[in-house]
């Protein structure tokens, strides 16, 4: 299987413009199952547009979009069944309760023959109290509404999870909870793309962080862990070298994390200071 075919989502040479504004430029990106990619960039760098293109809410002007190994000129219902998108806005019906919001989408999926996790189960897992489930979402704080939006996405067992600033408005406990949930999704085999301005959260969970600038992915840092050495180590049972090797591997992993953090910090440092200054005028 080729690298492109194995990707849950891939964009090749994708450009998007709104009028004269070029928002995405010749963009190249691949998202692989079982990985979390962090997307950073200044306001107006094109992050939300990138999510919209991947979710099928925008048709790219040029370039190729591939989803689950297939060219996706249009993101059909079959592809949408395998992805979930949480936008910066919570996209919830304020007059409906958290439970009703989730059930509406679960019923719509069921009408298409798709299964969904029970609403209460996933809402409680994301930290909403049982009392809150029946209340209209309009009465929720932003953080609670964000949990409902995340729950709606996670309830569908997505293979591709697109999260536009998912840590927004979450308290420390909520951020920790979301990080754990996303790591669980990665373990399940989901490909995750998330944007955030929370450096610590990104460094903690991402396998790769990419910098979007002027609508193009200009830099990338990747976590490089020594899985091969670890795997080799697992094949050895208890012996006198085990403890020594384990200690050395722990030191290596610690070093890897520190190295990833340091390189990510360098990338973070390169973020343009002025919001909105990265969208450039393109040729007509």
Partner 1 sequence: MRLLRQALLLLRSELRQELRDFELLLTAGFFTVVLLAMFYLSFASLQAKAHLSALPGLMWLTVAFVGVLTLTRVFDREREADTLRALLAAPIERLAIYLAKAAMALLVLMICCAVLVPGLWLMFPAGQAFADQPGQTALLALLGCAGYVAIGTLFAAGLATGAGKNTLLFIILYPLTTPVLMYALVTTRALLDRDPALPDHLTQMFLLDLILFAAACLLFETVLVGAPARAPGRRPRHPRRPDASVRQDMSREPSR
Give the footprint of partner 1 on residues 52-71 (CB under 8 A): 52, 55-64
Please say which residue, 53 or 181, places its beta carbon nearer to partner 1. 53
Question: Is residue 207 a contact residue for partner 1 (CB under 8 A)?
Answer: no
Residues 65 and 11: beta-carbon distance below 8 Å: yes
Tell me which DSSP letter residue 132 carries.
G
Tell the smallest beta-carbon distance from residue 73 to partner 1 (Å): 4
Question: Is residue 93 a contact residue for partner 1 (CB under 8 A)?
Answer: yes
Give the footprint of partner 1 on residues 121-160 (CB under 8 A): 136, 152
Residue from 108, 246, 254, 280 that binds partner 1 (CB under 8 A)?
108
Question: Is residue 109 a contact residue for partner 1 (CB under 8 A)?
Answer: yes
What is the C-alpha separation between 104 and 83, in angstroms, rounded? 17
The count of residues interacting with partner 1 (CB under 8 A) is 66
Residue from 33, 43, 220, 282 that binds partner 1 (CB under 8 A)?
220
Ranges of H-type helices in 68-224 = 77-80, 98-111, 119-125, 142-154, 172-188, 199-205
Residues 204 and 223: beta-carbon distance below 8 Å: no
Question: Is residue 26 a contact residue for partner 1 (CB under 8 A)?
Answer: yes
- Using the contact rule CB under 8 A, the part of the chain among 86-94, 121-129, 232-240, 276-284 near partner 1 is 86-94
Question: Is residue 228 a contact residue for partner 1 (CB under 8 A)?
Answer: no
Question: Is residue 111 a contact residue for partner 1 (CB under 8 A)?
Answer: yes
Tell the smallest beta-carbon distance from residue 239 to partner 1 (Å): 24
What is the C-alpha separation between 28 and 178, in angstroms, rounded? 27
Tell me which DSSP letter residue 136 carries.
B
Secondary structure of 181-228 as H, E, C letters: HHHHHHHHCCEEEEECCCHHHHHHHCCEEEEEECCEEEEEEECCCCHH
- Using the contact rule CB under 8 A, the part of the chain among 6-14, 172-180, 235-243, 275-283 near partner 1 is 6-14
What is the C-alpha separation between 48 and 100, in angstroms, rounded? 27
Question: Is residue 173 a contact residue for partner 1 (CB under 8 A)?
Answer: no
Nearest 5°: the CA angle 225, 221, 13 is 125
Tell me whether residue 199 is exposed, middle or buried, using C-beta atoms within 10 angstroms of its C-beta: 0 to 12, 13 to 18, 19 or more: middle
Please say which residue, 157 or 176, places its beta carbon nearer to partner 1. 157
Please say which residue, 176 or 272, places its beta carbon nearer to partner 1. 272
What is the C-alpha separation between 107 and 113, in angstroms, rounded? 10
Residues in contact with partner 1 by the rule CB under 8 A = 3-4, 7, 10, 12-13, 26-30, 52, 55-64, 73-74, 77-78, 80-81, 83-85, 87, 89-96, 100, 104-105, 107-109, 111-114, 136, 152, 210, 216-222, 224, 256, 259, 263, 266-267
């Amino acid at each position: 299987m080729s690298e492109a075919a194995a990707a849950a989502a891939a964009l090749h040479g994708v450009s998007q413009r709104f009028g004269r504004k070029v928002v995405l430029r010749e963009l190249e990106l691949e998202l692989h199952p079982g990985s979390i990619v962090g997307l950073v960039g200044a306001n107006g760098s094109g992050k939300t547009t990138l999510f919209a293109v991947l979710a099928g809410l925008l048709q790219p002007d040029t370039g190729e979009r591939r989803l689950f190994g297939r060219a996706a000129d249009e993101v059909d219902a079959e592809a949408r069944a395998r992805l979930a998108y949480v936008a910066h806005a919570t996209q919830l019906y304020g007059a409906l309760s958290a439970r009703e919001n989730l059930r509406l989408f679960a019923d719509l999926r069921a009408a298409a023959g798709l299964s969904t996790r029970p609403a209460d189960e996933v809402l409680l897992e994301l930290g909403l109290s049982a009392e809150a489930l029946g209340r209209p979402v309009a009465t929720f704080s932003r953080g609670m509404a964000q949990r409902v939006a995340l729950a709606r996405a996670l309830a569908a067992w997505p293979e591709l999870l697109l999260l536009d600033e998912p840590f927004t408005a979450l308290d420390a406990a909520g951020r920790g909870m979301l990080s754990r949930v996303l790591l669980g999704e990665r373990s399940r085999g989901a490909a995750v793309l998330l944007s955030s301005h929370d450096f610590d959260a990104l460094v903690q969970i991402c396998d790769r962080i990419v910098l979007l600038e002027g609508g193009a992915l200009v830099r990338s840092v990747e976590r490089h862990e020594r899985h091969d050495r670890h795997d080799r180590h697992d094949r050895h049972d208890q012996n006198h070298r085990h403890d020594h090797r384990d200690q050395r591997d722990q030191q290596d992993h610690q070093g890897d994390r520190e190295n990833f953090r340091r390189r990510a910090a360098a990338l973070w440092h390169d973020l343009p200071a002025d919001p909105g200054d990265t969208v450039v005028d393109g040729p007509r």
